[in-house]
Amino acid sequence: MKILAVNAGSSSLKFQLLVMPEEKEIVSGQVERIGWDDAIITFKLNGEKIKETFQILNHKYAVELVIQGLLKHKAIESLEEIKGVGHRVVQGGEIFKTSVIITDEVVEQIRSLNDLAPLHNPANITGIEAFRKALPNIPQVAVFDTTFHQTMTEDAYLYAAPYEWYEKYHVRKYGFHGTSHQFVSERCAEILGKKEHKIIVAHLGNGASICAVKNGKSVDTSMGLTPLEGIPMGTRSGNIDPAVLMLIAGKEDKTIGEVIDDLNKKSGYLGVSGFSNDSRDIIDGMNRGDYRATLAHKIQVKRILDYIGSYYVYMGGLDAICFTAGIGENAPEIRRDVIKGMEVLGVKLDEVENEKRGERMISTKDSKVKAFIIPTNEEVMLARETVRLSK
């Protein structure tokens, strides 16, 4: 059966059509700059990339172009071939403990969580509504970034803040990148051949998070109420003393909201280096001796190691660490420095394997803790959940 996996952002729409249960990709692509006169739609199929420019002012038209493109490029002969659509939704709050078939009620429940993810959930809903109108007669499934982390216990997900904040406003750690952490940890457990395992997944991209997985369940993760908490990222600060907000608001004559915006969009790699949020630029800067680029790299590596050490103690040991996502899969310098920092835990880096790409073990055979590159595939997780619930 053919399943369409969808990830709708505020001005973008990523998609992938897969044959299930074989998990074979037929076509993938994205629509960029939705809301602009020069929006771009890209299809990748049969080893070819097809790119076109349109005026795409809303998600409804973007979805129409995606469906027309699937037919035009012969990815499907008719719409009846699509048996389900899986939608990524960032925030499921405490309402959604697992993926669900989308109904009008579910859409309204997702909408009720907009305060917890104001940048993401409204965009996810827009994509859902557009596809429900375009393909009204097939099951559509919401898969939440947060559900994999619903197995965390209170000591891991609660903040040491007034308990009434949790009772009244559901202030707690939710965690994100759940579909990625689940996919990678399940693949790692398969490689290890162990049902009982202790795995740390480092999802390192422009957005980045660390997750501790014990026996297939998330027990802790670095992102919190929002994706701002945790390690430094491309433009996000990660953890910071909350008192900084009031200090900078006063000094710079800004609102708290504006300072938080700076922490989301002008911090991390970009804020420390002063010139880029792209890890490739940061590495290039390091190689030419740029002090602040080197500092940005060192700060992130140090913070990653902070979480790894904490999770090692919390789980009572560690079998493997996995690197995934854009930086985790493609930046050997990051992997090298993180693993070298973990040597005290018995990890030994295979320098040759670390320079390669694709799924592989990058620790030596005698390494006490194994290290892997495992490419993530969030679209496959969306498709798996869609098949499971569609049945």
Active site residues: 145
Nearest CA-CA partner of 17 in 386, 281, 268, 310: 386
> What gap in Å lies between CA 124 and CA 9, rounded to an integer?
6
Q: Crossing angle of helices 291-315/279-287, nearest 10°?
A: 120
**Between vectors from CA 206 to CA 297 and to CA 250, what angle results, nearest 5°?**
80
> What gap in Å lies between CA 222 and CA 210, rounded to an integer?
5
The answer to whether the CB of 148 falls within 8 A of the CB of 181 is: yes
> What gap in Å lies between CA 352 and CA 140, rounded to an integer?
44
> What gap in Å lies between CA 342 and CA 331, rounded to an integer?
17
Q: In whole angstroms, how far apart are CA 361 and each of 214, 238, 327, 344, 367? A: 20, 29, 17, 19, 11
Alpha-carbon Rg for the chain, nearest whole angstrom, is: 21
The answer to whether the Cα torsion of 324, 121, 385, 314 is positive or negative is positive
Nearest CA-CA partner of 348 in 360, 330, 366, 332: 366
Q: In what order do the strands lie in the sheet with 12-19?
A: 48-56, 36-45, 24-32, 12-19, 2-8, 82-89, 140-144, 100-101
The answer to whether the CB of 372 falls within 8 A of the CB of 339 is: no
> What gap in Å lies between CA 100 and CA 86, rounded to an integer?
10
Point out which residues pair with 89 in neighbouring strands: 144
Tokens representing residue 382 in the block: 């969306």
> What gap in Å lies between CA 62 and CA 316, rounded to an integer?
48
The answer to whether the CB of 141 falls within 8 A of the CB of 389 is: yes
The answer to whether the CB of 323 falls within 8 A of the CB of 357 is: no
Contacts 24+ apart (CB under 8 A), 192-195: 192/319, 192/320, 192/370, 194/319
Amino acid identity of residue 110, one-letter, is I
